[in-house]
Structure 1
């Protein structure tokens, strides 16, 4: 979990392909002590952090934004005391900690541009190797205490792309990702859990929620899975009325609420447990989901040795059971 960040010398910058952890105590991007200014949450004056009513209004405004544009940045657990707003000396914790072992994959929460790649991300009160991604519209995400960078400064990244490895660099008690969401401008933090939930992402690792009107790779996954079940959809990545009506028919056939949202109730009924030798649209769905995470597979519908290796590699870097089989746990991580 993140401790109050202490001033310390920054190590030599990591190269984009670095893989080893740094030495020394690592920790989260916290806001502690004087001089945190706009980056400390709930300060009486001069704070750029959103108030609770502002955060609630922002979440409400984004309630229809479950459009597949956002992804879970890392798999792990929420450690005690690592939540947004937790006390950190005279300030508050600016993000949500997600704990797992050093080397666990860290993914971009949405498409954007890497605008910071440095010790503390260049933000006051933070320590450890960090990245900041600008997503446009005044939205930024911060990834702290990294053990390795997987992308360079100014890189354009896609939602779900691997960008770094979890670590324990900086002032920390153990390896984790310190994840922040900034809205309006860099420095105005909001609760990452509710921010992502409003966009269909469960930061604690649950199934995603995709609403009609969504577009992109996750919609392609849904359309391939629906076609395996005989719905004959055009696989165009657009979750329009035809695809939504088909999902509603599927939901009714399974005794589910027919709302068209592919979420925690629908995903488990829609996915298949797949292993080497499988063939068909459901394998195309799996290959598409793996490609969103950077696998670079041919989407040919054949679960051969290359696809199996990609499944195993994804399971390994995300600390799942490495068996090369795409079951519900792997699907949940891939589509989250």
Structure 2
């Protein structure tokens, strides 16, 4: 759990050039805020912002697997201030992923933000939304790198003022420096930060939709894997949901995913393997999506399981699928 990572009531002013996500981080932006200071923790804004952005459109991903430690929640007391994020505990070296596509605008001790310690990254996602990843053991992307949702960006660690290894994860909305509750922020975008199944609504697009389309094709619906969750794909999912006695709302979530995925191991072939390969590629595996579960795909499954502290048996069962699609 973080001993620091605390923020007080008043926001720190952020240089104007950093608030514009289309620009790289300037020298002034890098130097601003180094050391200790204050940033805003806005509990009321966290709720209203999440409520205002309910589209579960596939653009966001779970940044790390682990458990929520006692006292590591957003808003927890920190010596007269409040905890600015949500802690996710796991072993040193556990993979850390980009929560959404964007640009790495800070890569430094504390991320250049007051009240933070340890190696950290800040990603700008545009529209004045940022995510912060703290106490990292190692970086896997450079400053100004363009990243995609689910891409591996770092390793979990225990750098800085902590009681044990974990990811300190923050979401900033409105500007860098105004934090909102990461759990509710991601939940509004279809991601369960505690590690549950994701939710994808009609109208979504991207890699998770490709996974759904491949799985639906295996179920006999013959969808084009174009990554667009439009009317044809939605109606196919609704038919599948009705066939399983589920609510036919077109949302692929905690009720639909377990019925949709397959337990797969080496030797399998088909569209369900393509789905698995696409899901692994979202997490930086770089596989050929050929539908053949051979030794290379087996190795990628084991690697993913290992860096996320799952049972590394090379078999893609419900636990692995849930993590991959989160």
Q: How many residues align?
A: 301
Q: Which of 241, 248, 261 matches 1:258?
A: 248
The answer as to 2:174 corresponding to 1:201 is: no
Are residues 47 and 115 of structure 1, via their aligned partners in 2, closer, same or farther at CA, if it must alter by over 3 Å?
Answer: closer
3-state DSSP of counterpart to 1:273: coil
Q: Counterpart in 1 of 2:21?
A: none
Q: Counterpart in 2 of 1:269?
A: 259
* Alpha-carbon separation, structure 1, partners of 2:293 and 2:130: 37
Q: How does 1:39-118 map to 2 (within 5 A)?
A: 48-52=40-44, 54-63=45-54, 65-118=55-108
* Alpha-carbon separation, structure 1, partners of 2:170 and 2:216: 35
Aligned residues of 2:6 and 2:82 also touching (Cα < 8 A): yes
Q: Counterpart in 2 of 1:31?
A: 7
With normalisation by structure 2, the TM-score equals 0.91
Q: How does 1:1-336 map to 2 (within 5 A)?
A: 1-4=1-4, 29-31=5-7, 37-38=10-11, 48-52=40-44, 54-63=45-54, 65-336=55-326
After superposition, the CA RMSD in angstroms is 1.2
> What 5-or-longer segments of structure 2 have no aligned partner?
13-37
* Alpha-carbon separation, structure 1, partners of 2:233 and 2:42: 37
3-state DSSP of counterpart to 1:201: coil
1:138-157 per-residue CA deviation (whole Å, 9 max, x = no partner) reads 00000000000000000000
Offset, 1:51: 4.1
Offset, 1:30: 2.8
1:115-168 per-residue CA deviation (whole Å, 9 max, x = no partner) reads 000000000000000000000000000000000000000000010000000000
* Alpha-carbon separation, structure 1, partners of 2:251 and 2:263: 21
* Alpha-carbon separation, structure 1, partners of 2:80 and 2:94: 31
> Runs (4+) of structure 1 moved beyond 3 Å?
46-49
Offset, 1:47: 6.4
With normalisation by structure 1, the TM-score equals 0.88
1:207-242 per-residue CA deviation (whole Å, 9 max, x = no partner) reads 000000000010000000000000011111000011
Q: Counterpart in 2 of 1:25?
A: none
Aligned residues of 2:50 and 2:185 also touching (Cα < 8 A): yes
* Alpha-carbon separation, structure 2, partners of 1:105 and 1:60: 29
> What 5-or-longer segments of structure 1 have no aligned partner?
5-28, 40-45
3-state DSSP of counterpart to 1:136: coil
Aligned residues of 2:105 and 2:123 also touching (Cα < 8 A): yes
* Alpha-carbon separation, structure 2, partners of 1:187 and 1:291: 32
1:100-121 per-residue CA deviation (whole Å, 9 max, x = no partner) reads 0000000000000000000000
